[in-house]
Chains A and B, each alone.
Chain A
Amino acid sequence: MATEEMDRAEEGKGPVWRTVLTRVMRVREAALMLFLLLVSFVLTLSTPYFLTLQNMRVILTGLALDAVIAVGMTITLVSGGIDLSVGSVFACSGIVVAKLINVGFPVWSAVLVAVLVGLGWGLLTGLLITKVGINPLISTLGTMGMARGVVYVITSGRVLAGLPDSFQRVGQGRILGVPNVIWMAAVVVLTGDFLLRRSRMLRQVFYVGGNERAARLSGININRVKLGVYAITALLSGAAGVVETSRFASAISPMGTGKELTAISACVIGGASLSGGEGTVLGAFFGLLLLGLIRDGLILNDVSVYWQQLIQAAILVLAVAFDVLTRRRRNV
């Protein structure tokens, strides 16, 4: 058994460096980081454009808003749930903010309402799951369709543009030469990671995901935790959608399509368990970075854009298969 070997290593038999290495490799993030370095190394060899500041900025800007969504998705997966509606909620808030500004709302109130719309979807999902008792997959499949429907009703399929500079600055500006979106993602990821490790409220999420019945008997209010989880996830998705609209100075109805796939893949690669109770924000971020690097490598090496979707989905299936297989072996 692998665990026995690790325990023996912990007890101090064998050389010290091996003990240290085993311990480091037990942390999913460390293993991922090593893998990231490896991929970066290969990409650096394959193309001279990879290791440039410009390219790094492109990669990070490209995944910044996905990272914000992935923070919420990590929490959802830890709770033992799943949220397929993140992409649609992202779009819904992005469209609502554009529409409200277009009809004359002040920028700040349009942003506020749009973010609250995101929160609203999360509360609806949460109530469907806790009060009605529909499972998360179906509940969020439902809100996913509904939120996307609202997008089409508002836009009738047209592009919403003509947004003022004051709004565009949010998503397009830079501080110290670094794009705002990267700053935002950094703040959300680091805060999210810290809180998921340390916050008393979020600690409950692990117990609910680990064993719902035991959590209830341990005095945890399961319904409140779940409602909170879906609310946070939708709130973050909605906020990310608003920034996306600002960044592109326009909103289109298909925006955010496929974001759930990216987010779930990133979380699972980063060590979140689809059966709940496990996962870290930092891990999910590294997962996202890995996906970003691979996408970037494909682009730099002139691989057709049509292949990218296929490859990303295949990576998700591989990551899940890995998760399931290692779990099965441990449980035997």
Chain B
Amino acid sequence: MVQDRETSSPEMNLEVEGVWKAFPGVQALADVSLQVRRNEVHAVVGENGAGKSTLMNILSGVYAADRGRIFLEGQEIRPANPKHAYNLGISIVHQENSLCSNMTIAENIFVHDIPSRWAGLVDRRRLGAQTQAMLEMFKIRASPETLVRELSVGQQQLGEVAKALACQCKVLILDEPTSALTDHESAILFDRVRQMRAQGTSVIYISHRLHEVFRLADRVTVLRDGRGVGTQHISETDVQAIVRMMVGREISQFYPDKGEGHGVPVLQVCHLTHEGSFEDINFDLHRGEILGVAGLIGAGRTAMALAIFGAVPGVKGEILIDGKLVTIDSPNKAIDLGMSYLPENRREEGLFLDMTVQANIISSHLDAFATGPLMDPLKERSEAQRFVDALSIRTPSILQKVLNLSGGNQQKVVVGKWLSTKPRILLVDEPTRGIDVGTKAEIHNLLRELANEGVAVLMISSELPEILGMSDRILVMHEGRVMGVLPADEASEDAVMSLAIGS
């Protein structure tokens, strides 16, 4: 859809032409183009990892594109850093909060451009008056002198938007702005966005919530796997069509055969609730099955798994193992009950990078390698060697530091560590994130073998093909709630995605 420069219409405010961006091991963006009109709210949607944030980071000067051009009002621009982009008239509201919580609202909103008097002294009166006007616009009932940390999360998010509007920006980028907002606050935000549009600003709106997109946007561009799939007028499309565009790809990978029916429930979760992350979770995990847990980032899947594993304090609800009510108040207790948890971030939560392969593999149940109060070096060594062989971990020695292994082999070490406890219940969180295709297939086969041997596997994954290819049943979460459990043969990418975005 690249337009010729000559025919490009003057009403285009921002044009992105064939942008490419690669990170080590990933082609984040490949030949992506985007045209945003003046007086337009333009939505950008796509699955996790489709390249939305990368594109926005390029527009706002966080990253430089490898190839491609960006035009603002017909002039080519190259935002070198966020401040530069801001001065050019591109303002962004990030998903994460970027306000300084120990400073006042006024100081935060005008951080780029504090009104000053002679000698650079802050003009408090003007600052106060301008901030007051902003706050009224967003219906935030607070004095400009209030410290940001005293505001509610939603108010902070609105404050964030106010900060972005403090300049007369030409392009406003909103990245998941409503994730922390109540419905009422969202409505206030939408009103402001429409006003901005009427005043001639282009608004780029990124959201997982398609119903918002259909309520607010004029056009929508869909990204998938770093490529632009197409741009549609909202009036000419519907949610189903957009979902198809988001996920519509062939499952190009082979997955091991599915299991045969399921056995008895091993783990039963009833009304599990943790304020702020998930609510009233109910499900059974059966012996010998792989239960896939799908959902978008922030759906509360990891928090739920950590809670089941006893790593989150203050969780309400009941957990039954083999039909018996258990209290799991620490990971240690969970391990004793036959549970393993393969964490999402292997470097931060799974591995001891500066320690040896051997030390890592035995780390989750030292007792098994001890005779009385002393460790038994022979047992340690043979266990480590056993997993290095069984999982074909490529390492020159079991005494090699894990730091020196490749990502896939590091992941195998974590897998080995958690299989070493001989779990009956295996919770795996993004088991194949950031590893090569070959290792990925090995881990998939291994998970299926374990299930066939009777292990109950709960697999969290943000990759739809993996969820569909591996799971016997699929549990879909959206904003901390279970939206439904689909049997594998009834599940399709569209069905899972519809539940995951909450429609």
Contact = CB atoms under 8 A, between A and B. Distances in A.
Interface string A296-332: 0000000000000000000000000000000000110
- Nearest first, the 9 A-B pairs at minimum CB distance are A210-B352, A219-B332, A200-B370, A218-B364, A219-B335, A7-B396, A219-B331, A218-B363, A198-B374
A277 B364 contact: no
A191 B289 CA distance: 49
A219 B365 contact: yes
Given A11-B396, A200-B367, A219-B364, A207 B375 contact: no
Given A200-B367, A219-B330, A330-B403, 13 more contacts: A201-B373, A206-B359, A207-B359, A210-B353, A211-B348, A211-B351, A211-B352, A213-B348, A215-B363, A216-B311, A217-B311, A217-B350, A218-B417
B311 A211 contact: no
B238 interface: no
A7 B401 CA distance: 12
Contacts of B359: 206-207, 210
A203 interface: yes
Nearest to A219: B332
B334 A219 contact: yes
Nearest to B306: A217
B341 interface: yes
A217 B397 contact: no
Interface string B372-414: 0111010000000000000000001100110110000000000
Interface string B330-357: 1110111000010100001111111100
Given A200-B373, A217-B349, A207 B363 contact: yes
15 contacts: A7-B396, A10-B397, A203-B366, A210-B352, A210-B354, A214-B343, A216-B311, A217-B341, A218-B364, A219-B332, A219-B364, A219-B365, A221-B330, A221-B332, A277-B355
B278 interface: no
Contacts of A211: 348-349, 351-353
Nearest to A3: B404
Contact of A199 (B348, B364, B373, B397): B373
The binding surface of chain B is classed by DSSP as mixed
B309 interface: yes
Interface string B305-339: 00001010000000000000000001110111000
Interface residues of A, number: 28
A199 B403 CA distance: 25
Contact of B352 (A7, A199, A207, A219): A207
A210 B354 CA distance: 7
The binding surface of chain A is classed by DSSP as helix
A199 B351 CA distance: 21
Contacts of B417: 218
B172 to A, nearest CB: 37
B359 to A, nearest CB: 7
Interface in A189-239: 198-201, 203-204, 206-207, 210-211, 213-221
A278 interface: yes
Contact of A277 (B311, B352, B370): B352
Contacts of A330: 403
Contacts of A331: 403
A217 B343 contact: yes
Interface of B: 309, 311, 330-332, 334-336, 341, 343, 348-355, 359, 363-367, 370, 373-375, 377, 396-397, 400-401, 403-404, 417
Task: Kindly name the residue among B351, B354, B374, B397 whose own CB sees the greatest number of chain A CB atoms within 10 A.
Answer: B354
A216 B400 CA distance: 23
Contacts of A201: 373
Nearest to B359: A206
A198 B348 CA distance: 26
Nearest to B343: A217
Contacts of B335: 219
Contacts of B311: 216-217
Interface in A221-274: 221, 273
Contacts of A217: 309, 311, 331, 341, 343, 349-350
B367 A10 contact: no
B152 to A, nearest CB: 26
A71 B307 CA distance: 38
A210 B351 CA distance: 9
Nearest to B370: A200
A10 B397 CA distance: 9
Contacts of B403: 330-331
B191 to A, nearest CB: 42
A278 B354 CA distance: 8
Contacts of A198: 374-375, 377
A10 B374 CA distance: 29
Contact of B349 (A3, A214, A277, A278): A214
Given A203-B366, A218-B331, A213 B349 contact: yes
Contacts of B354: 210, 273, 277-278
B374 A220 contact: no
A203 B374 CA distance: 9
B360 to A, nearest CB: 9
Interface in A273-295: 273, 277-278
A3 B355 CA distance: 14
B128 to A, nearest CB: 37
A203 B351 contact: no
A307 to B, nearest CB: 36
Contacts of A218: 331, 363-364, 417
Given A207-B363, A277-B355, A200 B375 contact: yes
Given A206-B355, A211-B352, A220 B404 contact: no
Contacts of A213: 348-349
Contacts of B331: 216-219
Contacts of B374: 198-200
A215 B351 CA distance: 9
B313 to A, nearest CB: 12
A10 B336 CA distance: 39
B307 to A, nearest CB: 13
A81 B73 CA distance: 56
Given A11-B396, A213-B349, A199 B363 contact: no
A200 B351 contact: no
Interface string A1-37: 0010001001100000000000000000000000000
Contacts of B353: 210-211
Interface in A38-56: none
B495 to A, nearest CB: 33
A215 B343 CA distance: 12
A217 B365 CA distance: 11
A213 B355 CA distance: 15
A198 B378 CA distance: 12
A203 B359 CA distance: 10
A200 B369 CA distance: 9
Nearest to B354: A277
A273 B309 CA distance: 31
Contacts of B366: 200, 203-204
Contacts of B336: 219
